[in-house]
Amino acid sequence: MRWYISDMAKERKTPQEKKSLEYTRDHFTFAEHSSFPKMWKRKKTHANREYRRKSGELLVQAKPGMGADDVALIADDLTAALFQKSVVRKPLRKTGTVTVGEKVERKLMKREQSVGRRARSHEPYDLAADSAIRTLTSIKGENLVDVVRRACVLCGGGNPEEWVRLQQSSDPLDQALHFLQQLSYGSAYEIDAVRRNEELRASLAAWVTKANRILARDRRAIEKKNDQKKMTGKKLNALRRAPHPTG
């Protein structure tokens, strides 16, 4: 068995030291830099080629078959120090990669930033739902009747220009009507905002019940008026058909 002094003198590293080396020495490439392995190989090849070319230019004087006298003449010029100074290997820098330690740090920071992200994305819709339902439930009397009628027209088709106006308006009532219109068209953001708050869901259900009673009363009034028109028309037709007395 052959033993090597260098192997025997090599110190063993603890797991902690190995992990520390891994964090500082090993590198990681993210998906947006997937071409790094190919480009890094080309960069190293180019640097080595350039180093060999410069070395060859410096050593071109020492041609094969040169005599001892000629070698003695150039020996002073080709010292090791001069060679190292004249031929410098181009340093390579990795771009698009990070160390494993930097990767872990980025992952931890991203995890901290992602905490509560979904709740923050829901917040605008939750606030809009709360404001809209509170505005609707605060309206009483004839004002409530007018608002219910406007909401019925909007949710039944309405006017696209009116939708844009309501969306851009800063008036709380207009915003509440726009919220109702979005609900009626099945917007997931508004629907989920109501589902997340049980109190708002109960308040909206109570308001919708009142609105349906108002609309039912309006329908009955319209039906009654139509029935009266029909009765009046029948009476007029009966009078027209009745024989006129002759003189």
Beta bridge partners, 97, equal: 29
Q: What is the pLDDT of residue 221?
A: 87
Q: How far from the centroid of its chain's Cα atoms is residue 167's Cα? A: 23
pLDDT in tens, 177-226: 999 989 988 889 899 999 999 999 999 999 999 999 999 998 898 888 88
- Which residue ranges make up each domain of the chain? 23-62+72-105, 119-236
Given a cut of 50, the residues of the chain with pLDDT beneath it are: 1-5, 67-68, 71-73, 76
Q: Exposed, middle or buried by CB within 10 Å (0-12, 13-18, 19+), for 156?
A: exposed
Q: What is the pLDDT of residue 130?
A: 93
- Cα 155 to Cα 130, 220, 239, distances in angstroms: 20, 20, 44
The first and second tokens of residue 244, run together, are 């006129």
pTM over 0.75: no
Q: What is the pLDDT of residue 159?
A: 77
Q: What is the pLDDT of residue 33?
A: 61
**Is 136 within 8 Å of 209 (Cβ atoms)?**
no
Q: Give the ranges where the chain is alpha helix by DSSP (H).
A: 5-9, 15-25, 36-59, 68-75, 80-86, 100-114, 117-137, 141-155, 160-168, 172-184, 188-195, 198-241
Q: Which of 165, 193, 175, 168 is nearest to 135 (CA)?
A: 175
Q: What is the pLDDT of residue 202?
A: 94
Q: How far from the centroid of its chain's Cα atoms is residue 46's Cα? A: 40
The first and second tokens of residue 79, run together, are 């010292």
Q: Is 132 helix (H, G, I), strand (E, B) or coil?
A: helix
DSSP of 22-46, one letter per residue? Answer: HHHH-EEE-GGGTTHHHHHHHHHHH
